[in-house]
Amino acid sequence: MQKKLSSPENTARTERGLFHTDSPAAKIALLGLLTALAIVMGYVEYRIPLPLPVPGIKIGLCNIVIVFVLYRFGVLRALLVSLIRVAVVGLLFGTPISMLYAAGGAVFSLFCMYLLKKTGRFSVIGTSGAGGALHSLGQILVAALLMGGTGIFRYLPILLFAGECCGILIGLVVTIVLRRLKPRRNESVI
Amino acid sequence: MTRSSVPEEKESKSRRKSTFRRADLWLLLGIGLFSVLLFGFFLWKDTRIREPMLEITQDGQVLGVFPLTEDRDILIGSRESGNYNLCRIEGGKVRIVEADCPDRSCTRSLAIDRRGGTIICLPHRLVLRIKDGTGGIPDAVAE
């Protein structure tokens, strides 16, 4: 251990920090850590329900992690983290039905954010804001399918707007996080 | 997976990536405007209700249609087997007073009245909404 650390290669790696590593073990550890963070954020939100007369409004704190992973590690890893999070949070605090809503919203919004990011025209804030709104849309579509009715679409405008506002907040946070954890020159990330 | 190296890094060298761009503004304004218009559309639709009736739908099936003029309690599901919502019509206002769903957001929902609106219980896949009853739909009784 002592020997390894003293070699110039490894000193460079430790200076880079965990977020910009090439080692596969560190990648796995890092993504596991981020998944755990997303789950904890889901739990924090579950403990603090917003006393609003409309169901389904949440800040979506865990999306800070998802958007961060999308921008730093790509869409496939974001999808993985997102699905594991939905499954674990659903098993711990939810019902199979609430899990379906969550998965519908998460996958739909992640896919759309990926497309928006790919166009290269939008910043993190724009992508995340639209992603928040589309998260609501995804959930409502799943709900409409499950309930077999269009009555739920009445909530769409409110949920779209709330989702957009929360998404913008999350985009701001992720912008700051990405800037703080910026790789230095000639560095590759996972 | 070294292919997915950070795009920001390359771009920040050539051109500074701004935090918020014009395209973002249009995108977000567009979504905001769409939701406001949709909200307005529903409000407009509600003003056209002449004879308000409460329609109760569960799993996509209409369980019953009730007039708002008569006060009554409607139990959807049963207390013994679980999965129940107790809906109360009182003074022209409809709300869910009791339920055993996990999130209870239906009991927190604002009461709906002749001006329109919807109460939803996602876990029980239940929708209460105000609709125009002039079409001559028979009063089904769910009791």
Mean pLDDT lowest for which of A9-18, A142-151, B14-23? A9-18
DSSP chain A: -HHHHHSHHHHHHHHH-GGG---HHHHHHHHHHHHHHHHHHHHHHHHS----SSTT----THHHHHHHHHHHH-HHHHHHHHHHHHHHHHHHH--HHHHHHHHHHHHHHHHHHHHHHHHT-S-HHHHHHHHHHHHHHHHHHHHHHHHTSSGGGGGHHHHHHHHHHHHHHHHHHHHHHHHHT---TT----
Q: Among the ranges A12-21, A102-111, A179-188, B13-22, which has the highest mean pLDDT value?
A: A102-111
Q: Is A135 exposed, middle or buried (CB count within 10 Å of its CB: 0-12, 13-18, 19+)? A: buried
ipTM topping 0.90 = no
Query: pLDDT class for A183, splitting at 50, 70, 90?
Result: low
CA dist., res. B71 & res. B67, Å (int):
9
CA dist., res. B108 & res. A97, Å (int):
20
Distance from CA of B7 to the nearest CA of A (A): 9
User: Is the CB of residue A127 less than 8 Å from the CB of residue A113?
Assistant: yes
Taking CA atoms, A52 is separated from A19, A24, A147, B118, B142, in Å, by 38, 44, 22, 15, 30
User: Is the CB of residue A178 less than 8 Å from the CB of residue A72?
Assistant: yes
pLDDT value of position A185:
58
Q: Which helix (H) or strand (E) holds B129?
A: strand B126-132
User: Is the CB of residue B87 less than 8 Å from the CB of residue B56?
Assistant: yes
CA dist., res. A160 & res. B61, Å (int):
27
pLDDT digits 0-9 by tens, A117-137: 999 899 999 999 999 999 999
In the predicted structure, residue A88 carries a pLDDT above the cut 50: yes
CA dist., res. B80 & res. A112, Å (int):
44
pTM of the model: 0.77
In the predicted structure, residue B57 carries a pLDDT above the cut 90: no
Query: pLDDT class for A166, splitting at 50, 70, 90?
Result: very high
Residues of A in contact with B6 (CB under 8 A): 72, 183, 189
A 31-60 residues inside an 8 A Cβ radius of B: 49, 51-56
Interface test with A, best of B11, B96, B105 (most A CBs within 10 A): B105
Query: pLDDT class for B15, splitting at 50, 70, 90?
Result: very low
Q: Which of B19, B60, B129 sits opposite A175 (nearest CB)?
A: B19
Contacts from A22-26 at CB under 8 Å and sequence distance 24+? A22/A188, A22/A190, A22/B2
In 3-state terms, what secondary structure has residue B14?
helix
Distance from CA of A123 to the nearest CA of B (A): 6
User: Is the CB of residue B126 less than 8 Å from the CB of residue A146?
Assistant: no
Q: DSSP class of residue B116? A: B
Kindly report the average pLDDT of chain A as a whole number. Answer: 83
Q: Which of B6, B60, B123 sits opposite A148 (nearest CB)?
A: B60
pLDDT value of position A57:
81
What percent of chain B has pLDDT above 90? 17
